[in-house]
Homo-oligomer: A and B are copies of this chain.
């Protein structure tokens, strides 16, 4: 749990609203899990004041690089786009608990909405490298917002694109799609991120078919290290409701426990 000054290798716009940043980890020794995140200083300045949390998009342990994929939303991510190649960026992490990839699984299915793919891509990569078959349903408003498809395809992930534009991204259609996929490919685990609406499908299927599932949540953060209780959400433990911190007990939670 430390801040690191790491060198920016690239920081580039990849589509209308999305940017991609790659940093050099060769000077430090970090073990980073898919699903974990970093809290990033958008500027070497008091403004914006707070750091901004970004999931790990990709970890390359050979090249010793770390990548982030981010949506330009407000002032913080806007300023992040000004971070220049070869300068340093101050990142705090890795933070939180990542995804659990089960040894025994042969096939997994990911369901990502929008920038949720930034969070699931690292998992897809780890799974593919471990020889698992990975199905990934990517949902977005427009074709343009479907990110990382090439990268995912290049590592052998089977991709299904659904968009609001085309009209195949609503809950019933996505549910039908998952059903279709499971017909020819037995799914061992489910993972989702980026939409509570879509996560409900995963929760339902996980329960019905008794498949383990996980979800990465988001909440406004203060400290990102578990001390301020800004980022809490309720989860179900047995028949009790428990308050947990997204930054500390999460951001990844068993799908059956979350309240959507």
Contact = CB atoms under 8 A, between A and B. Distances in A.
Interface in A20-56: 43, 45-47
A24 B116 CA distance: 45
Contacts of A46: 47
A17 B132 CA distance: 60
A47 B47 CA distance: 7
Contacts of A45: 43, 45, 47
A201 to B, nearest CB: 43
Nearest to A49: B47
Contacts of A47: 45-47
A46 B46 CA distance: 9
A81 to B, nearest CB: 13
A86 to B, nearest CB: 13
Interface in A103-132: none
Interface string A40-84: 000101110000000000000000000000000000000000000
Nearest to A44: B82
Nearest to A46: B47
A45 B79 CA distance: 10
A47 B43 CA distance: 11
A47 B46 CA distance: 7
A48 to B, nearest CB: 10
Interface string A178-208: 0000000000000000000000000000000
A82 to B, nearest CB: 9
A43 B46 CA distance: 12
Nearest to A79: B45
A159 B5 CA distance: 48
A43 B47 CA distance: 11
A47 B45 CA distance: 8
A37 to B, nearest CB: 26
A46 B49 CA distance: 11
Nearest to A84: B84
Nearest to A82: B44
A85 B16 CA distance: 28
Closest 5 CB pairs of A and B: A47-B47, A46-B47, A45-B47, A45-B45, A43-B45
5 contacts: A43-B45, A45-B45, A45-B47, A46-B47, A47-B47
